[in-house]
Amino acid sequence: MEIPYTISTRPDTGLWNAKIGIWLFLASEVMLFGGLFSAYVFLRLDAQPGEWPHGLLNVPVGTMNTAILIASSVTVVLAWAALKMRRYRAYWWYMLVTILCGLIFLGVKLAYEWPQKFEHFGAKIKKEALEKYEPYLGNHRRLEKGLEPRIEISGHLHNPEALKDPNIKEYEIALDPVNAEANNPAMDRPHFLYVPPTDKIVNIEKEDVERATMFLPTHSAYFASYFTITGLHGLHVLGGVLVFIYMWLPVSKKVYQRNPEHLANRVEVCGLFWHFVDLVWIFVFPLFYLL
Amino acid sequence: MNNPPDISQDPKEHEEYAHNVQAHVKRYLMVGGALLAFTAITVALSYVDFGTRKANIAVAMLVATFKAGLVAAIFMHLAAEKRLIYRVLIFTGLFVFALFWLTYLAWYNPIVR
């Protein structure tokens, strides 16, 4: 039996069915991401001074990924327009570019951004020990200037075994520039370009550390929400790419030959999903990378 | 601000139709360019100090909302869509608003206060 109203509009709704379907689905997606974003707002509003990190993510890479996602949104709408104009060849190319953009976005996230965080280490210093590490925190100066205190020393952990071995009493850290030059006013604001850890190595006694972890979801409310939201967003990108690949393969050419409008409508529906994924990223990017 | 109409089955009219869609393509490209430009603006503004961090967040969210509006209105064709879809989205909007309002209440804690 033929599925009704895939191309023609249903008289009572004035729409073909898949269009209502995708919008209802997107409405539920709005609530899904809305829940996570409201959790982000809640966690952030409740964070104590110094507890919400700034400038930990790589801004140029994030900006590039944003541009890639926007470009893919343009190509998917062009792919749809090409089908409306009955130019299958152009459609095929636009679709390929869209798929590649999605894959690059995922590749950058999974092969570069996340692993770089997993290799980064942070030690949150106990309140009573903050004075001891003042040279690496620069809090006297920050207090005078009315800035939030620094409560964490971060960088590259030279002895990762210290995380598990209770006999090792110290963490050996190659400091991040913020901690290496804690009193440099240039470190008051996040850098645009990524600056790797310095050669300056400092030993921090475990006794003085309240919490020591790599930059994993367990590190802080910030990283927990970062990995959850970008992870879920990444899954959406993956889902979109898989569907686009199906639309791009020769199977879809058969749909096009039978009725080009049918494929055009399918692409429109997937496109709506893709634009929504782009739209979510438009909020994710400033909230996590910039602010 | 209309979307391309459904394609005519009459091949004679097709050329005119294709021309019509071509005009929309131009708009899509322009919107894409605007989105890229606003991404650059968002990044640049985040390095400008607006006094408090709250002010910086407000500015960034304003730009992001505008960008999201462009995507929704042009790419997702919401600028000219059927009434039923608007109805669905109005309710979605209300529920999202309620969700953030609850979050605000939980944080503000008016009962204890």
Give residue A146's region: left, alpha or beta (phi > 0; psi -120 to 50): left
Average pLDDT, chain B: 85
Q: Does the CB of A283 have a partner CB in chain B at under 8 Å?
A: yes
Q: Which domains does chain A have, with CATH numbers?
A: 17-118+220-290 (1.20.120.80), 121-214 (no CATH)
Q: Give me the DSSP letters along chain B.
A: -PPPPPPPS-HHHHHHHHHHHHHHHHHHHHHHHHHHHHHHHHHHHTTS--SSHHHHHHHHHHHHHHHHHHIIIIIT-GGG--HHHHHHHHHHHHHHHHHHHHHHHHHH-TTT-
Ranges of each domain in chain B: 1-81, 82-113
Residues on chain A touching B56 (C-beta within 8 angstroms): 291
Distance from CA of A91 to the nearest CA of B (A): 13
Report the distance separating Cα A65 and Cα A123, nearest Å: 29
For chain B, which ranges sit under pLDDT 50? Answer: 1-2
Nearest CB partner across the interface for A73, out of B57, B71, B96: B71
Residues on chain B touching A46 (C-beta within 8 angstroms): 107
pLDDT at B1: 42
Among all residues of chain B, which has the CA nearest to that of A32? B96
pLDDT at A50: 87
Mean pLDDT, contiguous 10-residue spans, chain A (291 residues)? 85 90 96 95 89 90 96 96 92 96 96 94 92 92 90 92 91 92 86 86 92 94 96 97 96 91 93 96 94 85
Q: What is the sign of the dihedral through the CA atoms of A191, A65, A231 and B91?
A: positive
Distance from CA of B8 to the nearest CA of A (A): 10
Q: Do B61 and A286 touch (CB under 8 A)?
A: yes
Q: What is the sign of the dihedral through the CA atoms of A220, A221, A227 and A230?
A: negative
Q: What is the ipTM of this complex?
A: 0.89
Report the distance separating Cα A167 and Cα B110, nearest Å: 49
pLDDT at A220: 92
Instruction: Look at residues A229, A214, A190 and name the one whose alpha carbon lies nearest to residue A56.
Output: A190
Interfacial A residues in 80-109 facing B (CB < 8 Å): 81, 84-86
Asked if residue A198 lies in contact with residue A177, where contact means CB atoms within 8 angstroms, the answer is yes
Say what the pTM is: 0.91
pLDDT at A54: 87
Interfacial B residues in 19-48 facing A (CB < 8 Å): 21-22, 24-25, 28-29, 31-32, 35-36, 39-40, 42-43, 46-47
